[in-house]
Amino acid sequence: MIIVMSHQATEPQVNAVVERVKEIGLKFELSRGEDRTLVGVIGSNAYAYREAFSHLPGIKEIIPITKPFKLASREFRSADTVVDVGGVKVGGTQDVVVMAGPCSVEGEEMLIETARHVAARGARMLRGGAFKPRTSPYSFQGLAGLKMLAMAREETGLRVVSEVVTPADVELCARYVDVLQVGTRNMQNYALLQEVGRVGKPVLLKRGMSSTVEEWLLAAEYVLSQGNRNVMLCERGIRTFEVATRFTLDLNVIPLARELTHLPMVVDPSQATGKWSLVRPMALAAVAAGAHGLLVEVHPHPDEALSDGAQSLDFAAFDRMMDDLHRMTSVLTQVAAK
């Protein structure tokens, strides 16, 4: 942390800052420039004490130096993390993993039909909402959905990823699914992050729709610090002034986050665009930008879907995406590797 003194700051004001640093037990280094004096406050957690200075006179600004995440950082671990989901590997130089399925589990038949189709075309995981954000956590529907997902896994060998929305459901959910998804509205639900951290299953952590990359990595840090190192990050669009698409898919964040963290990056083009005709080009773009996985909504009959039909691919559109993806990833080793 660097404390920048105002250029009118007096000697006693500078001294008061230095005294405060000493009281806290941190080290410091004074740097007197032409224009102003800087007080470098040294120690890896120095910035946590910034409040202790916020009301002292003569200070112009307080600037953090070290980023506040550690376990999630490339500096901490330089090799890519590869998350192993029952043998399906996500991250590093592994093949791009496609996670596909309906927005919500509407029934056994549609789920199995979808699972079989996407598995045959190369998907490795099945996505599907059992507990919708608005569903009562104790309702039968939630449990029934989980059981159907587990059954579809038996049938197809796909791993299952599904969202958990409240801490009380985490253990139940973890018994049925392979990856616990934390949704965009819960990225800073610390009670939930703690539970998914404790339970130890792989986690798919969606970016908050208005979260900076730093806040996102801090949320990951929260899970990692509970001892669960199997965290995948998922970009799903951020909220901007542009309303022609549902959200703005921020693909900048893929190569950027790959510089900052060793964790695998997944992209959800369905939620981001809200429009099925944009899903295929954005899925390809995500992989070209360096994504390790894709989360895509597929429905046998999108125009009959109970939710989010407008953004779901039908089987033909999914097949076309997979074909293009295979063609692109055949030249990808050279493309995606850093």
Region 50-69 residues binding a second copy, contact defined as CB under 8 A: 50-56, 61, 63, 65-66
Judged by CB under 8 A, which of 43, 92, 122, 300 binds a second copy? 43
Judged by CB under 8 A, which of 81, 166, 228, 230 binds a second copy? 166
Span 183-202, contacts to a second copy by CB under 8 A: 185-186, 188-192, 194
Shortest distance, CB of residue 262 to a second copy, whole angstroms? 14
Per CB under 8 A, does 12 bind a second copy? no
Per CB under 8 A, does 167 bind a second copy? yes
Q: Where would I find the beta strands (DSSP E) of 119-178? A: 125-127, 159-163
* Ramachandran region, residue 25 (left: φ > 0; alpha: ψ -120 to 50; beta: rest): left
Query: Is residue 248 packed enough to be buried (19+ CB in 10 Å), middle (13-18) or exposed (0-12)?
Result: middle
Q: Decide: 28 and 43 in contact? Cβ < 8 Å.
A: no
Per CB under 8 A, does 245 bind a second copy? yes
Shortest distance, CB of residue 167 to a second copy, whole angstroms? 6
- Nearest-CA neighbor of 192 among 163, 213, 212? 163
Query: Is residue 33 packed enough to be buried (19+ CB in 10 Å), middle (13-18) or exposed (0-12)?
Result: exposed
Binding mask 196-235 for a second copy (x = CB under 8 A): -------------xx-xxx-------x-------------
d(Cα 146, Cα 89) in Å, to the nearest integer?
23
DSSP per position, 25-36: T-EEEEEE-SS-
- Distance (Å) of CA 37 to CA 16, 41, 66: 13, 13, 20
Shortest distance, CB of residue 170 to a second copy, whole angstroms? 12
Shortest distance, CB of residue 257 to a second copy, whole angstroms? 9
Span 257-276, contacts to a second copy by CB under 8 A: 259, 272-273, 275-276
* CA 296 to chain CA centroid, nearest Å: 15
Span 114-133, contacts to a second copy by CB under 8 A: 133
Judged by CB under 8 A, which of 112, 151, 310, 319 binds a second copy? 310
Nearer to a second copy by C-beta: 94 or 225?
Answer: 225
Per CB under 8 A, does 143 bind a second copy? no
Nearer to a second copy by C-beta: 159 or 269?
Answer: 269
User: Both tokens of residue 51?
Assistant: 């409040």
Nearer to a second copy by C-beta: 5 or 204?
Answer: 5
DSSP-derived secondary structure letter, 40: E
Q: Decide: 274 and 256 in contact? Cβ < 8 Å.
A: no
Per CB under 8 A, does 253 bind a second copy? yes
Span 288-307, contacts to a second copy by CB under 8 A: 288-290, 302-307
